[in-house]
């Protein structure tokens, strides 16, 4: 029972990080119909900026306060992501309004290449560390219930808390602020939203900025776990089955989908993997998502697709 629970928890933790990346994808898709392939590159880019700022800022402020320095670095990186959102909207997506989905997808792939190149050209391709002071020691739970207990990383728990707080903040932002209401209106119906005077351009910048900040949080969490390196941008490939499983237009879908994929991946690796010589988790998520789609083509929580002639 112990190992099973550990795998399950590990899967949930990984799945939550997938959810964070998937969340960025869903936000942008819902608001602008753009399938943002560059989300993984944005995670990498944001994490690189954060890691470098965290190195550069302490000598500047002269304070020996880790929290302040990290907060400053985070704020700086968030600003960079907002600027990036503005540039993307002005230079790329603003010029591609009304194009087909596939053209937009390819444009974000172009952005993806650009960000991967730019991130490494500006900041070098060393592996950086982000240290935001998450506790590292593992703890044991349920030691009394069964022998050996369950090993849990405190770091993972902290990361889960951060992610939960982020999601709660996003929910508040969407439900309670005027901007959030405008965002929901745009997501619901572009033309109707525009006709009552919601500026689409500005909304799209905001959405990309929010997705950028979500990417930053995901990048910081992954980065403090594994170090900031190129492979971070591959996380996006894991987030794709998550979004189609959960539904491209559903935020709860992204979260639930992420958890399902994370758990499924880890369990399959342990229980099915040995039968085929390992490495099953590479494709398991996709096959799982595909199997779900055969029964619900719009994903678990997606809006029903209605075809009219």
List residues binding other proteins (CB under 8 A): 35, 91-92, 95-96, 99-103, 105-107, 109-118, 120-121, 125, 237, 240-241, 243-244, 248, 276-280, 282-283, 286-287, 289-290, 293-294, 297-299, 305, 307-309
- Over its C-alpha atoms, the chain yields an Rg (Å, rounded) of 20
Q: How far apart are CA 63 and CA 268, in angstroms?
A: 48
| Closer of 173 and 286 to other proteins (Cβ) | 286
d(CA 84, CA 78): 10
> Token pair for residue 173?
């932002």
Q: Least Å distance between CB 148 and other proteins? A: 32
198: exposed, middle or buried (C-beta count within 10 Å: 0-12, 13-18, 19+)?
Answer: middle
Q: How far is the CB of 11 from other proteins (least distance, A)?
A: 18
Specify the residue, 19 or 224, whose C-beta has the smaller distance to other proteins.
19
Cα 217-289-22 angle, rounded to 5 deg: 15
Minimum CB distance to other proteins, residue 38 (Å): 9
Nearer to other proteins, 179 or 298 (CB): 298
Nearby residues of 97 by Cβ (< 8 Å), 6 or more positions away: none
Residue 126 or 189: the one with the smaller Cβ distance to other proteins is 126
Output 65 or 125, the one with its CB closest to other proteins: 125
| CB nearer other proteins, residue 138 or residue 297 | 297
Provide φ and ψ at 140, rounded to 5°: -105, 135
Residue (109 or 160) nearer to other proteins, CB = 109
How many residues are recorded in the chain?
A: 309
Q: Strands of the chain (E only): list them.
A: 138-141, 150-153
Going by the DSSP 8-state scheme, the letter that residue 255 receives in this structure is: H
CB of 290 to other proteins, least distance (A): 5
Query: Shortest gap between Cβ of 126 and other proteins (angstroms)?
Result: 11
In the complex, what is the shortest distance from the CB of residue 46 to other proteins, in angstroms, rounded to a whole number? 17
Give burial (CB, 10 Å; 0-12/13-18/19+) of 176: exposed
State the nearest-atom distance from the C-beta of 61 to other proteins, in Å.
30
């Amino acid at each position: 029972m112990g190992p099973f629970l550990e795998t399950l928890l590990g899967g949930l933790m990984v799945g939550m990080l997938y959810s964070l990346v998937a969340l960025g994808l869903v936000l942008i898709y819902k608001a602008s119909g753009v399938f943002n392939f560059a989300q993984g590159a944005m995670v990498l880019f944001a994490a690189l900026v954060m890691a470098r700022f965290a190195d550069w800022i302490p000598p500047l402020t002269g304070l020996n306060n880790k929290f302040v320095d990290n907060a400053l670095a985070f704020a700086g990186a968030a600003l960079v992501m907002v600027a990036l959102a503005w540039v993307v909207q002005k230079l790329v997506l603003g010029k591609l309004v009304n194009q087909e989905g596939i053209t937009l997808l390819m444009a974000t792939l172009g952005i993806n290449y650009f960000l991967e190149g730019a991130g490494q050209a500006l900041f070098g391709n060393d592996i950086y560390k982000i240290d935001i002071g998450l506790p590292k020691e593992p703890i044991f739970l349920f030691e009394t219930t069964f022998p050996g207990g369950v090993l849990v990383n405190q770091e993972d728990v902290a990361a889960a808390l951060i992610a939960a707080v982020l999601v709660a903040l996003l929910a508040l932002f969407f439900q309670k602020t005027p901007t959030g209401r405008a965002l929901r209106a745009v997501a619901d119906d572009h033309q109707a939203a525009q006709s009552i005077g919601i500026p689409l351009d500005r909304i799209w910048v905001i959405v990309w900025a929010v997705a950028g900040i979500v990417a930053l949080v995901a990048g910081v969490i992954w980065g403090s776990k594994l170090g900031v390196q190129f492979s971070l941008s591959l996380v996006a490939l894991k987030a794709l089955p998550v979004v189609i499983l959960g539904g491209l237009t559903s935020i709860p879908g992204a979260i639930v989908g992420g958890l399902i994929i994370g758990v499924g991946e880890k369990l399959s690796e342990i229980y099915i993997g040995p039968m085929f010589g390992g490495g099953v988790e590479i494709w398991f998520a996709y096959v799982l998502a595909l199997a779900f789609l055969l029964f619900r083509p719009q994903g678990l929580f997606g809006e029903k697709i209605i075809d009219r002639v």
